[in-house]
Amino acid sequence: MLNTFHLRTFLAVVDAGNYSTAAAALHMTQPAVSQQIRALEEQLGDIRLFRRVGQRMVLTHAGEELLGSARELVRLAERAEQSLLALKGQVAGRVVVGCTPSGGERLLPRLLAAFHERFPVVGLELVVAPADALLDALGERTITIVLVEEPQRRRGLEAVLLGTEPVVLVAPIGHPLLKQPPLAPSVLRDQPLVLPRGGSPLRRAVEEALRRRGLTVSDLQPALESDSITVLLQAVRAGLGLAFLPRSCAPARGEGVGHVELVATSIQIDWFLVRSRERGSPGAAQSLYDFLSGPQARALLVRAVLRPPAEEGGPHAAPPARRAPTSER
């Protein structure tokens, strides 16, 4: 009978692409990971599961054949473990959560830390990726819950609005615009900008707000585009241009950047918690979802500068637990 610990190690190497990264994720040494994989290969009749290509470990044909069954066996083992622990009133298991780079990687760890205090036995994995990739992963059941900054419109998924976050314009310390009173958005025609990647939710929010103030995409001068908020912030500090950032990601004034005020220009993004409508039995995933959509998480988000859904006054404000519409992709 296959050993589920061996299978978990096998899946960790598949996901990481090499033994060293898998070892770090499993809190094991690299030789220990190698031993687990070798033991699994021996149990299967000395069949090689990986081959080395450069710095990566790539599945052999036998490894590809095992992959689907390994994931299913590990899921079944985890489900059985959760069910037995539930009989004792404990919540355990492993949940894979996803968020986008545009602020989600700043917000979600705060919430996961608070969840871990209440449910220390639950293992958590955080995947940072563009929204489309996260929603694809939800459909494929490789991720359980995601935090994204737009309502989803895919069949089979459901979303709850957690809050609304302002977007601010920042410039490097010493930039002449920082000494000016609130400026008309038209000033951006003459400024190099570091912007989120075209088509990303944050980029769309910025372009839509500027369009309402008479600026089109062709009026902007992107000096750099990136999905990484860290890259955008460092580019501002290096003097490459101005950037629009979620307020939770913008440093306090004096930390290398300052805030540029624009007249009558409100830019904001909505944060949605999304999961599949088809769910298994209650367990760690349900406990995490209930926590993230509950009052303690919302209070933490308000402290992180999000406006709660019930607050009036913004074009994206909504009542608590607003569900995004679903439609065919």
Q: What is the pLDDT of residue 279?
A: 65
Which range, of 11-20, 146-155, 286-295, averages the lowest pLDDT? Answer: 146-155
pLDDT category of residue 317 using cuts at 50, 70 and 90: very low
Q: Which residues of 183-213 are buried (b: 16+ CB within 10 A; e: fewer)?
A: eebeebeebebbbbeeebbbbebbbebbeee
- Any idea which residue has 């310390």 for tokens? 173
Long-range contacts of 62-65 (CB under 8 A, 24+ apart): 63/10, 63/14
Q: What is the pLDDT of residue 253?
A: 66
Stretch 160-178: mean pLDDT, rounded?
92
Q: What is the pLDDT of residue 322?
A: 42
Query: Number of C-alpha atoms within 13 angstroms, CB side, residue 24?
Result: 6
Q: What is the pLDDT of residue 264?
A: 87
The better pLDDT of the pair 56, 89 is held by: 56
Rounded percentage of the chain residues whose pLDDT exceeds 90: 37
pLDDT category of residue 319 using cuts at 50, 70 and 90: very low
pLDDT category of residue 194 using cuts at 50, 70 and 90: very high
| Domains of the chain listed by start with CATH number | 4-77 (1.10.10.10), 164-268 (3.40.190.290)
Work out the end-to-end distance of the chain between its first and last CA atoms, rounded to an integer number of angstroms. Answer: 41
Mean pLDDT: which of 52-56, 60-64, 100-104, 226-230 is highest? Answer: 60-64
96-121 pLDDT per residue, tens? 999 988 777 788 888 999 888 888 88
Q: Look at phi and psi of residue 294 and say left if phi exceeds 0, alpha if psi is from -120 to 50, else beta.
A: beta
* Residue pair 185/244 in contact by the 8 Å Cβ criterion: no
- 72: pLDDT strictly greater than 60: yes
Stretch 300-321: mean pLDDT, rounded?
57
Q: What is the pLDDT of residue 85?
A: 55
Bridge partners (DSSP) of residue 242 are: 193
Q: What is the pLDDT of residue 320?
A: 38
- 293: pLDDT strictly greater than 50: yes
Q: What is the pLDDT of residue 314?
A: 38
126-157 pLDDT per residue, tens? 998 888 889 888 888 889 999 998 877 788 88
| Cα dihedral sign, 56-60-63-65 | positive
Q: What is the pLDDT of residue 282?
A: 59
The better pLDDT of the pair 75, 172 is held by: 172
What is the value of pTM for the model shown? 0.64
Burial class (CB in 10 A: 0-12, 13-18, 19+), 169: buried
C-alpha closest to that of 203 among 193, 213, 192, 191: 193
- 236: pLDDT strictly greater than 60: yes
CA distance 242 to 148: 24
The better pLDDT of the pair 151, 84 is held by: 151
Q: What is the pLDDT of residue 304?
A: 73
Stretch 227-240: mean pLDDT, rounded?
91
Q: What is the pLDDT of residue 61?
A: 94
Q: What is the pLDDT of residue 82?
A: 59
C-alpha closest to that of 131 among 98, 166, 165, 95: 98
